């Protein structure tokens, strides 16, 4: 597996974790978003990555018998679900952030204990 790919995924996880550990609630939400991107790319690498071609796209050309070796469709289905769910959770987290600020009048996570 490519070192660059691994480094970028690792970097996304590290930066996401660092942001979640901040006191500013917006940064925490941003951290979750970065982690999500990292996790999605991670999942895709589990299916194997090769240079794209006509055959590797998991959309079959014909209804015929010939099925080429496509990129792993299962991880793509998983990631598609993950993208949509993460959209829902990010929107909810932002709404919660907004309400939390209205209630507490601070963005500091540490003052909410």
Partner 1 sequence: MAPDLSVITVAVALPFVAAAATPLLHRALGERTGFAGAVVALASFGLLLTQVGERGAVSFVWVPSLDVAARFYVDGWALLFALLASGIGALVFAYSRSYMHGDEHLARYYATLLAFMGSILGVALAADLVLVFLFWELTSVASFVLIGHHTDSDASRYSARMAMVVTVGGGLCLLAGLLVLAVAADPALGERTFDLSAMIASADAMEAALRERGLFVPALALFGVAAGAKSAQVPLHFWLPNAMVAPTPVSAFLHSATMVKVGIYFVGRLRPLLLSPEWTYLFATVGLLTMTVGAVLAVAATDVKQLLAYSTASHLGLMVAAFGFENAYGAEAGSFHLLSHAAFKAALFLVAGIVAHEAGTRHIDSLSGLWRDLPVTAAIAGVTALSMAGIPPFSGFYSKELLFEAAYELAHYDGGLTWVFPVTAVIASVFTVVYSLRFLSIFLGDRPADADPVHRAPALLVAPPAVLALVTAVVSVSPGVAVDAIVQSAVDATAVGDAELHVGLPDHVSPPVVMSAISIGVGAAAYGVGDRLRAGIGAATDRDPLGANWWYDRLLNGAEAASARVSPLIHDGSLRTYVSWSVTAAAALALLGYAATVAGLPPVGRTVPPTMALVLAVAGVAAVSVMVAPSHVAEVLTLSILGFMVAIFYILASAPDLALTQLVVETLVLLIFLLVIEQLPAFYGDIPRGVLARDAAVSLFVGVTVFLTVLLAGREATAEPTAVARYYATEAVPQGGGTNVVNVILVDFRGFDTLGEIVVIAVAAISVLVLIIMRNRGETQ
Site for partner 1 in 71-110 (CB under 8 A): 71-74, 76-77, 79-81, 83-92, 94-99, 101, 106-110
From the CB of 55, what's the least distance to partner 1, in Å? 9
28 is a contact residue toward partner 1 (CB under 8 A): yes
Instruction: Report phi then psi at 93, rounded to 5.
Output: -60, -40
46 is a contact residue toward partner 1 (CB under 8 A): yes
From the CB of 103, what's the least distance to partner 1, in Å? 10
Q: Which residue has the tokens 């979750």?
A: 32
45 is a contact residue toward partner 1 (CB under 8 A): yes
What long-range pairs does 2-7 form, CB within 8 A, spacing at least 24? Answer: 2/49, 5/41, 5/45, 5/49, 6/45
Q: For residues 53 and 75, is the Cβ–Cβ distance under 8 A?
A: no
Number of residues that bind partner 1 (CB under 8 A): 88
40 is a contact residue toward partner 1 (CB under 8 A): yes
What is residue 62's three-state secondary structure? coil
């Amino acid at each position: 597996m490519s070192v660059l790919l691994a480094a970028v995924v690792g970097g996304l996880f590290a930066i996401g974790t660092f942001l979640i550990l901040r006191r500013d609630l917006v940064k925490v939400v941003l951290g979750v978003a970065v982690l999500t991107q990292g996790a999605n790319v991670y999942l895709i690498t589990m299916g194997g990555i090769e240079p794209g071609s006509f055959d590797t796209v998991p959309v079959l050309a014909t209804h015929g018998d010939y099925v080429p070796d496509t990129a792993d469709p299962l991880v793509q289905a998983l990631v598609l679900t993950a993208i949509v769910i993460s959209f829902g959770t990010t929107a909810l987290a932002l709404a919660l952030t907004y309400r939390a600020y209205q209630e507490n009048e601070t963005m500091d996570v540490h003052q909410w204990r």
